[in-house]
């Protein structure tokens, strides 16, 4: 794989973190999970000025896979990316996956961070974000791909397309 800076974006539950780990294992590129870097115990976010500095430092690296949306940081990451993979999965698939993974240990999240209870305000807001992701973010993502044409933009809509992409890139 000729890419040294890979950006993975898509709805929660689309498989960004899993794909990032797979590509990282094959290529040896370091994987940065933005959720792991942004969230702290009790779902406390990183303050905005500190967050911007962290993402700028990640993006300045020579080799990386950055997994996560945080579209407020697209302008920091996209200009440096060689490859942007947009996992554009069906909303219902993403919802099912985030509900199914609720009680699992996620390596893309900070150690000790426990998901909010199912009917809590935070979790319900997260489910709403997943439900509205495509409607609210899809156009911005496509616009960014046009704004930064130097980065190869790959839009994958299902697991079959992911496997075909990985095979074409020599990862599997």
Specify the CATH number for the domain of residue 117. Answer: 3.40.50.300
Q: Please tell me the predicted confidence (pLDDT) of residue 105.
A: 63
Q: Please tell me the predicted confidence (pLDDT) of residue 117.
A: 66
Domain of residue 83 covers 5-168
User: How much helix, strand and coil, in percent to the nearest 5, is found in the chain?
Assistant: 50, 15, 30
Q: Please tell me the predicted confidence (pLDDT) of residue 20.
A: 97
Helices (H) and strands (E) in the chain, counts: 7, 7
Phi and psi angles of residue 164, each rounded to the nearest 5 degrees, phi first = -65, -40
User: How many domains, in total, are found in the chain?
Assistant: 1
Query: Along the 172 residues of the chain, how does pLDDT read in single tens digits?
Result: 689 999 999 999 999 999 999 999 999 999 999 999 998 887 789 999 999 999 999 999 999 999 999 999 999 999 999 999 999 999 999 999 999 877 666 777 777 776 666 777 888 998 999 999 999 999 999 999 999 999 999 999 999 999 999 999 988 7
Q: Please tell me the predicted confidence (pLDDT) of residue 60.
A: 98
């Amino acid at each position: 794989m000729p890419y040294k800076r890979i950006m993975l974006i898509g709805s929660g539950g689309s498989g960004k973190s899993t794909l990032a780990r797979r590509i990282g294992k094959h290529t040896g590129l370091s994987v940065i999970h933005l959720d792991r870097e942004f969230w702290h115990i009790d779902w406390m976010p990183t303050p905005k000025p500190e967050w911007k500095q962290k993402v700028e430092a990640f993006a300045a690296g020579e080799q990386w896979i950055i997994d996560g949306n945080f579209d407020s940081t697209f302008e920091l990451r996209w200009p440096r990316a060689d490859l942007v993979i947009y996992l554009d999965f069906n909303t219902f698939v993403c919802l099912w996956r985030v509900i199914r993974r609720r009680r699992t240990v996620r390596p893309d999240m900070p150690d000790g961070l426990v998901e909010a209870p199912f009917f809590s305000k935070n979790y319900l807001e997260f489910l709403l974000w997943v439900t509205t992701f495509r409607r609210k973010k899809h156009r911005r993502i496509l616009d960014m791909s046009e704004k930064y044409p130097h980065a190869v933009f790959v839009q994958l809509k299902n697991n079959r397309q992911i496997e075909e992409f990985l095979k074409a890139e020599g990862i599997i």
